[in-house]
Amino acid sequence: MANASNQAIVPAAPSGLASIWHAHNVVSCRKKVLAIAPTFEIFDVQGTPLVFCQEKIFTLKEDIRVFADSTKKVELLRIRQRQLVNWSGTLYDVFDAASNAKIGTFRRKGWRSWNRDEWHVLNTDDQQIGTVMETGNAFLRRLFKFLPYTFAFNLEGQQVGTFIQHFAFIGYKATMDVTPWQVGALDRRLAFAGALLLMAVEARADANR
């Protein structure tokens, strides 16, 4: 794994939007049920919307856009699948929408999906700096798809967050807690991008198993 000095090369969040990413440690993540394009929202603990996310449809590669609200006037982040097929893992680059600067990458280790799902967190130089790892009894979840899943965010060998899906008869709900994610200059927007990828990619992969 890269050492702490590598974290400095990840750009910090724009100052005008810093409160969105840095002032909220615990957030609620939801997927809209009746939507033509896959749509996700993140709320604070009081239920106030923080970001609105929508996937582009009719594309071969994942293209996820993150906005300040449902009007989609202010775009905050872009998450793009880098390639169609890669045996070492699918790459999802995260970009600042205003500058188009890459702030990091997630690599999904597809070959482990039947054992325990795992993502690698990469910095702007594609060096691994952490993981997003499925926790709990993953084998039972493969057998009983209605069981909620949980993931742990780890950076430099330390757990800095959790993503916990909640059981629901209708819709998709989860809670992300990134209270410990305060390491150096590492861009905290990656936590929110990771939550959105878990909702978009893991939920779909789980349904197709």
- Rounded CA-CA distance 178/161 in Å is 4
The residue with greater pLDDT, 47 or 18, is 47
Note the pLDDT tens digit of each residue in 130-167: 999 999 887 777 777 778 889 999 998 899 999 999 98
pLDDT at 17: 55
Pair 181, 193: CB distance under 8 Å: no
What domains can you pick out in the chain, each with its CATH number?
A: 25-208 (2.40.160.200)
pLDDT at 2: 41
What tokens were used for 121?
Answer: 């967190």
What is the pLDDT confidence band of residue 1, given thresholds at 50, 70 and 90?
Answer: very low
User: Above 60 in pLDDT, residue 10?
Assistant: no
- Rounded CA-CA distance 165/154 in Å is 18
Beta strands in the chain (DSSP E): 26-31, 39-43, 49-55, 63-67, 75-81, 90-96, 102-108, 118-122, 128-135, 150-155, 158-166, 172-177
pLDDT at 6: 40
Pair 124, 9: CB distance under 8 Å: yes
